[in-house]
């Protein structure tokens, strides 16, 4: 018998039965940045039967301090993260079917990506922005697939699990609306410590294992947050956080899945893509302050504009007071969305 899982099976919560369930289950990880790298690595090593990873970005040098599946040569080759991760994970555990999908996960392809390879048993959040998180939450509630949330920024991180149909809340019961663009720190503006994302990714992997083994009474029923530098850890119990009036799990409206926010559009005849705003005015001075470390930006009452870098390329980014933005230098809406979420909206 392959001793690979011997120590894992010795854990009383796993055993032979748990290991068999892991081996016949399917985890989907959306976004293979720091959190996705860590959870994918752990779940592939743990012997989850199928692991699907979806990512739109290319490996960059600035990823390497916290994204443990990638190497300097991946960055020098600008390899798609979905491919670099798949190649790495396949040599870690040949017994796992690793699927790497290069795609920008958005409202028009989300259900197809999730259902296309057989609906996964868990959705793991490795994204960096609320728009995609709310889209994942819509998919989770609509399809009844548990959703493992995670976020990490600077020295702080948080994680939670949302299991549809078991009386608990969904993400939008707790966070009804996305924060206004430009009001939240991003990894670009505030940075992130690799140890923080490693811990959150590990929490996500452990919770995913509980979900995949059907240990519902063990699944974390709280939002766990901590600041690694301050040594502060908090748990907010979510047992009675379900909101009957929740737009998503209460009313069954899947606005993010239905694309009510408007899709990014390539602008006719230009090397540019327009990203629709969230319908709310944003504070451009505040956004300008958060972008200070990312380059020279021209800040006016009605817009902010500057050159930014992503994937080794440079783009001109213009953001208007209504949250709308134009990414100049590409016709690829996935690249434009990546630039937008990196600099404007987390």
Through-space distance between the first and last CA atoms of the chain, rounded to whole angstroms: 46
User: Closest CB to Zn ion among 153 and 246?
Assistant: 246
Q: From 346, 294, 343, 336, select the one nearest 56 (Cα to Cα).
A: 336
Of 48 and 161, which has the nearer Cβ to Zn ion? 161
Distance CA 174, CA 160 (A): 11
Q: Which residue has the tokens 């989300």?
A: 110
Beta strand 156-162 with 147-153: parallel, antiparallel or unpaired?
A: antiparallel
238 vs 333 by CB, closer to Zn ion: 238
Minimum distance from CB of 170 to Zn ion (Å)?
Answer: 3
Distances (CA, A) of 316 to 72, 95, 294: 27, 45, 12
Strand 50-55 to strand 97-102: parallel, antiparallel, or no bridges (unpaired)? Answer: parallel
At its nearest, how many Å lie between Zn ion and the CB of residue 125? 15
Min dist. Cβ of residue 177 to Zn ion (A):
12
- 170, 132 Cβ separation under 8 angstroms: no
Residue 231: count other Cβ atoms within 10 Å of its Cβ: 7
CB of 261 to Zn ion, least distance (A): 18
Q: Which is nearer to Zn ion, 108 or 177 (CB)?
A: 177
Place of tokens 């504070």: 283
Least distance (Å) from Zn ion to the CB of residue 176?
9
Contact 137, 178 (CB under 8 A): no
Q: Which is nearer to Zn ion, 53 or 173 (CB)?
A: 173
Q: What are phi and psi of 125, to 5 degrees?
A: -90, 110
Nearer to Zn ion, 91 or 244 (CB): 244
The tokens for 54 are 């979806």
Neighbours of 1 (CB within 10 A): 5
* Torsion sign over Cα 167, 130, 108, 29: negative
> Least distance (Å) from Zn ion to the CB of residue 251?
9
Pick the closer one to Zn ion by CB: 88 or 172: 172
Q: Which is nearer to Zn ion, 97 or 253 (CB)?
A: 253
Number of alpha carbons in the 13 Å side-chain half-sphere of residue 274: 14
Q: Give the SS3 label for residue 326.
A: strand
Interface residues toward Zn ion, by CB under 5 A: 170, 172-173, 246, 248-249
Q: Would you say 134 or 203 has its CB closer to Zn ion? A: 134
Q: Report, in Å, the least distance between residue 14 CB and Zn ion.
A: 31
> To the nearest whole angstrom, how small is the minimum distance from the Cβ of residue 142 to Zn ion?
12
Q: How many CB atoms lie within 10 A of CB 173?
A: 21
Closest separation in Å from C-beta 255 to Zn ion: 12
Taking a C-beta distance cutoff of 8 angstroms, is the pair 259, 191 a contact?
no
């Amino acid at each position: 018998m392959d001793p690979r899982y011997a120590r894992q099976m010795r854990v009383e919560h796993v055993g032979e039965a748990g290991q068999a369930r892991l081996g016949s289950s399917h985890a989907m990880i959306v976004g293979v940045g720091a959190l996705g790298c860590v959870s994918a690595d752990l779940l592939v090593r743990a012997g989850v039967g199928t692991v699907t990873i979806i990512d739109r970005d290319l490996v960059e040098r600035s990823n390497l301090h916290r994204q443990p599946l990638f190497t300097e040569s991946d960055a020098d080759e600008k390899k798609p993260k979905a491919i670099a991760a798949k190649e790495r994970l396949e040599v870690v555990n040949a017994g796992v079917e690793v699927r790497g999908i290069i795609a920008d996960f958005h409202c028009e392809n989300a259900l197809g990506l999730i259902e296309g390879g057989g609906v996964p048993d868990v959705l793991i959040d490795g994204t960096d922005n609320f728009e995609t998180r709310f889209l994942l939450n819509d998919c989770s509630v609509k399809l009844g697939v548990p959703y493992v949330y995670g976020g990490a920024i600077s020295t702080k991180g948080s994680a939670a699990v949302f299991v549809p149909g078991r009386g608990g809340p969904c993400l939008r019961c707790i966070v009804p609306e996305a924060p206004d663009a430009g009001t939240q720190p991003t990894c670009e503006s505030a940075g992130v410590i690799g140890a923080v994302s490693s811990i959150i990714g590990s929490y996500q992997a452990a919770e995913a294992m509980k979900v995949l083994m059907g240990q519902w009474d063990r699944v974390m029923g709280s939002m766990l947050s901590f600041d690694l530098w301050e040594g502060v850890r908090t748990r907010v119990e979510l047992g009675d956080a379900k909101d009957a009036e929740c737009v998503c799990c209460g009313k069954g409206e899947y606005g993010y899945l239905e694309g009510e926010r408007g899709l990014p559009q390539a602008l006719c005849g230009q090397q540019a893509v327009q990203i629709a705003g969230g319908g709310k005015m944003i504070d451009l001075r505040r956004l300008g302050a958060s972008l200070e470390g990312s380059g020279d930006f021209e800040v006016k009452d009605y817009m902010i504009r500057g050159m930014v870098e992503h994937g080794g390329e440079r783009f001109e980014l213009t953001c208007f007071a209504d949250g709308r933005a134009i990414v100049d230098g590409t016709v690829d809406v996935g690249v434009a969305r990546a630039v937008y979420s990196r600099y404007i909206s987390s």
